[in-house]
Homo-oligomer: A and B are copies of this chain.
Amino acid sequence: MKKQLLFALTLFIIFQAAIISAYAQVESLAPGVQKISVGVPDKFTPYGFRLESPMKTALGELPAAKLPFDINDISISVNNRGVIVKIPLDTSEQLYGFGLQFGSFDQRGLKIKPIVNDNPLNDLGYSHGPTTFYVSNKGYGILINTARYVTFYCGNTARLNDGKGNGVQHSDGNSVQALYQSDNKASGNVLVDVPGAKGIEVFVFEGPDLKNAMQRYNLFAGGGALPAIWGLGIKYRVKADFNQQQVGKMAAYFRNNHMPCDVLGLEPKWQTTAYSCSYVWNKNLFPSPNAFIDTMKNKGFHLNLWEHAFVSTASPLYAPLKTKAGNYLVWNGLVPDFADSTASNLFANYHENIFVKEGISGFKMDECDNSNIAFGSHAWSFPELSSFPSGIDGEQMHQLFGMLYDKTIFNIYKKNNLRTYLDVRASNDFASPYPSALYSDTYDHKQYIRLIVNSGFSGMNWSPEVRESNSIKDLMRRSQTAVLSAQTLYNSWYLKNPPWLQINKEKNNAGELMDNASAIETDVRELLNFRMSLIPYLYNAYADYHFKGIPPFRALVMDYPTDKKTFSISDEYMIGNGILAAPLTEKEDERVVYLPEGTWYDYNTNQKYIGGKEYTVKTGLTQLPIFIKEGTILPLATPVGYVGQDTKFEITCLVYGNNPASTTLFEDDGTSFNYEKGSYNIVTLSWQKNKGSVKRNGKFKNNRYVIKKWQLIN
């Protein structure tokens, strides 16, 4: 009798499994990366438009992993409304991701709609850089391969009849807080709602740990981007109505005053018309653009052009693109159907011939997100109901538009074997191989810091740009954050003078400089010089991003996934392997810093801290709010005014502690993709018996790093 029961039970289990496997197909795409498919997946997806192929070799070198659940326990159902995906969730798990989230960090317990928008809207999930991807501190990642507007319920639902979630009652009903309290641990899964879909692909990235899962995600996307080395210097965007001469004067200001600067950005008015765009030089302001590009180049400046993708009738691109555009206009301009390669090619060829071949080093791709309400003004961009010749609809186009635009522009540079560092205002899944930084108009410093932290879960670079400031302290704190980010950018598109000469917008434009302008300039120079010193270290972190998938900027929890205190820290982050940054904002002279296990050195004072604790630390305005992990060799360069083709970096190695691990520098030409064919060196820096040593391996012939000095700190 017992045997029969067991037999029936086994049959029942097999039968149940059969129902699931009949629909769900699991495929291994690369080491530790699996895809589950159900139904008829969408034609237009983030993966379908991926920039690069997976880096399978690097993926194979990661430690083997095992999911904390059976992959078949991911349940996917298709109904009239769309697709529902259910992913198991342990009661102790913490979740991170969904792209550049402004207000949230640990996503467990939240309802998140990762929708592309310039307005974060009370943490609904809206962002310039949303992703349908999350990682768990249990060491795996999940990506829903869709360009639809989806909702993630991160363990905050309770299903009827699932044997959980009954009987919990509130003890106190006398406050709003108490009434609305919910038990976030109640649900045993993450639910994903994909309305409108008839099928779905779910990508599962194994760990074994949180960082490994992120590495797999980034490597699967093609590896992290290695920006042109000059992109890691200082970018400065000049006032929108500056003419050729005024830009030239600004360039001279930087060189004459020894303020480092690599890139000058031109804003809308370089074009004959913008909003929508002509992509034609405004000869009134720039009578000889190509000669101007050359002059700037000779002075070591790269030029970056602002634009957006909405094509004015005044543009030579209007006529060819008119039949390859969406059926709604934005600012009366065409919306190119970038989902169709003919539209992309037309757009790219024009940009290649008119700009890239003439020496333009990059673009700022603005307004490719979407907006509901922009700064008290009205909504803009194309409606979600738009249709495009390729067949993609407006909703899916919105989610992919920034990325497709970025792809169109990036591929020009790739084709010309030129590296770049772009600005783009929207992105999505599989963004890692794009050498592009995202930015926003929201300008909340605390959020900007959180976005650096969240960028490590996004495969994106975040640029916490500096514009005007409320106070000198605000300017300095924002500058510190910018220096400790993926891109150091002063965006002065509405400022005549650099903000460090006058923080106030009106006075700045009236030419009224601050009394202490020169002193503040000196202070800012000190910070910018530190950025220039950090370039070799940062560049190596980006090489780790490219070859190993390790995000150069990342949350503490990624390096310390078992340290519960790191689970919710969204205002500190790691830069590379040895630096912990804890930026301060306008009102702060000091702040509480949590330092994980190990020993840490205050970079400014060399004071030692025992990890696993919180400390209150003061950081001056010209100092850097960073802590160096014991065991780190920190290579810092003598600052240069800009990174030229032949720049040699003179390096001082700061050795923290007596037994540091050896570290590396990545050496190549910094501006071509030749490294992809092996033309690079790995420079290994070691410290043994109180002596530093340098070992160089690789095929690149031109040494860029000169190790000048070693200095032990302990």
Contact = CB atoms under 8 A, between A and B. Distances in A.
Interface of A: 79-82, 84, 109-111, 119, 121-124, 151, 153, 156-161, 165-170, 173-177, 179-182, 184, 186, 191, 193, 195-196, 239-241, 267-269, 273-276, 312-314, 322, 325-329, 331-332, 334, 371-375, 377-380, 382-385, 387, 393, 395, 441, 494
A709 to B, nearest CB: 47
Contact of A121 (B124, B268, B378, B383): B124
A195 B111 CA distance: 21
Contacts of A267: 173
Contact of A325 (B160, B269, B275, B329): B160
B191 A385 contact: yes
A457 to B, nearest CB: 20
A19 to B, nearest CB: 18
Contact of A332 (B168, B268, B379): B168
Contacts of A170: 274-275
Contacts of A193: 383-385
Contacts of A165: 329, 332
A326 B173 contact: no
A139 to B, nearest CB: 25
Contacts of A395: 81, 195
A373 B273 contact: no
Query: Which of A111, A176, A177, A267 neighbours the largest number of chain B CB atoms within 10 Å of its CB?
Result: A111
15 contacts: A80-B393, A81-B196, A109-B378, A110-B379, A111-B379, A153-B383, A157-B383, A158-B328, A159-B329, A161-B327, A173-B241, A174-B241, A177-B375, A177-B377, A191-B385
Listed residue (A273, A331, A393) with the most chain B CB atoms within 10 angstroms of its CB: A331
Given A173-B268, A328-B159, A378-B182, A81 B385 contact: yes
Contact of A378 (B110, B159, B274): B110
Nearest to A330: B158
Contacts of A111: 372, 378-379, 383
A569 to B, nearest CB: 19
A180 B372 contact: no
Q: Which 7 A-B pairs give the minimum distances between C-beta atoms?
A: A111-B379, A193-B385, A158-B329, A173-B268, A180-B377, A180-B374, A81-B393
A273 B328 CA distance: 53
Contacts of A79: 387
A176 to B, nearest CB: 6
A169 B313 CA distance: 10
A240 B393 contact: no
Given A110-B379, A375-B180, A383-B193, A328 B81 contact: no
Given A151-B384, A274-B173, A378 B156 contact: yes
Given A169-B314, A195-B196, 11 more contacts: A81-B393, A109-B378, A111-B379, A158-B328, A160-B322, A168-B331, A169-B276, A173-B240, A176-B441, A180-B378, A193-B384
B119 A384 contact: no
A328 B157 CA distance: 7
Contacts of A173: 240-241, 267-269, 274-275
A176 B366 CA distance: 13
Contacts of A273: 169
Nearest to A198: B80
A158 B191 contact: no
A268 B179 contact: yes
A373 B123 contact: yes
Residue of A124, A176, A180, A395 with most partner-chain B CB within 10 A: A180
